[in-house]
């Protein structure tokens, strides 16, 4: 089965660019979305309730902002949308679908740059990372967990095209990268890098100007993390840069069916 993550940069806009065609032809079984930027009732019916799919949403309180979702061919046994802290929950950044012992979380990690690009939201971002980490640590005791999403952090120099000029930019700050290192030290694996350890030029986000995507001047900030025990199920980890419709492209894993 395929578990895929995609920051759609507005689901209503992405729907006009072929989202449903992607959903129905890509072979995906579970799809986690980030940056939905719509309340469920604002979505077209065929996007809200596609034939053959179960759709679950966690919108932000603020209109047109953030929001995550999970589409699955099989109905989830349980859905969680709260981290137990209103400061995080109001932004609609977290949803978990449980399928038996397996869990899939779709997470939209915050940017740290802040509205004035002064890195003022880095403390909030790191606190959010910690709260998500605490929740998924408890889940891994029950079965395989796949944490998919836009992590808004490039972990290593190989994960962005211009590391030297971005060292003071949120998304490549030492403290942000250290958080992903901490996850790995606790037994979580970046599934794509585990499968492709030394391959450069694999990115999942590009700026929308200056021909960045065409020149492949991008960042790999979208990940699927899984605990080491779940890695034995992972047959492949991939990035689909040819899929258009957003400034991000889908990333995912193919796993042995649980």
* Domain map (residue ranges) of the chain: 2-255
Distance between CA 213 and CA 75 in Å, rounded? 36
Residue 247 falls in the annotated catalytic set: no
CATH class of the structural domain 2-255: alpha beta
Q: What percent of the chain has pLDDT over 90?
A: 98
Q: How many helices (H) and strands (E) does the chain have?
A: 7, 14
Query: Tokens 């009732």 map to which residue?
Result: 41
Distance between CA 222 and CA 239 in Å, rounded? 9
pLDDT, tens digit (0-9, with 9 covering 90-100), for 59-90 = 999 999 999 999 999 999 999 999 999 999 99
Region 220-232: mean pLDDT is: 97
**Phi, psi angles (nearest 5°) of residue 92:** 60, 55
Amino acid 257: pLDDT: 78
Residue 258 has pLDDT above 80, yes or no: no
Distance between CA 149 and CA 5 in Å, rounded? 6
Helix (H, G, I), strand (E, B) or coil at 114: coil
Q: Which of the pair, 165 or 116, is modelled with greater confidence?
A: 165
Distance between CA 120 and CA 112 in Å, rounded? 6
Catalytic residue among 21, 77, 150, 201: 150
């Amino acid at each position: 089965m395929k578990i895929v993550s995609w920051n759609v940069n507005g689901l209503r806009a992405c729907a006009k660019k072929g989202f449903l065609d992607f959903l129905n032809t890509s072979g995906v079984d579970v799809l986690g979305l980030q940056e939905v930027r719509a309340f469920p009732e604002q979505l077209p019916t065929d996007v809200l309730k596609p034939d053959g799919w179960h759709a679950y949403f966690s919108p932000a309180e603020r209109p047109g902002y953030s929001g995550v979702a999970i589409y699955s061919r099989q109905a989830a046994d349980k859905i969680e949308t709260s981290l137990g802290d209103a400061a995080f929950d109001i932004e609609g950044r977290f949803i978990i679908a449980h399928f038996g012992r397996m869990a899939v979380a779709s997470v939209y990690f915050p940017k740290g740059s802040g509205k004035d690009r002064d890195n003022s939201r880095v403390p909030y971002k790191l606190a959010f990372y910690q709260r998500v980490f605490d929740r998924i640590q408890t889940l891994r005791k029950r079965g395989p967990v796949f944490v998919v999403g836009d992590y808004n952090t490039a972990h290593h120099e190989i994960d962005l095209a211009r590391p030297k000029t971005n060292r003071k930019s949120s998304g490549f700050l030492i403290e942000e990268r250290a958080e992903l290192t901490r996850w790995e030290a606790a037994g979580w694996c970046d599934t794509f890098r585990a499968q492709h350890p030394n391959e450069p030029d694999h990115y999942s986000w590009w700026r929308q100007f200056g021909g960045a995507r065409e020149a492949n001047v991008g960042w790999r900030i979208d990940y699927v993390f899984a605990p080491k025990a779940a890695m034995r199920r992972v047959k492949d980890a991939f990035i689909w840069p040819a899929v258009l419709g957003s400034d991000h492209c889908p990333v995912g894993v193919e796993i042995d069916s649980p």
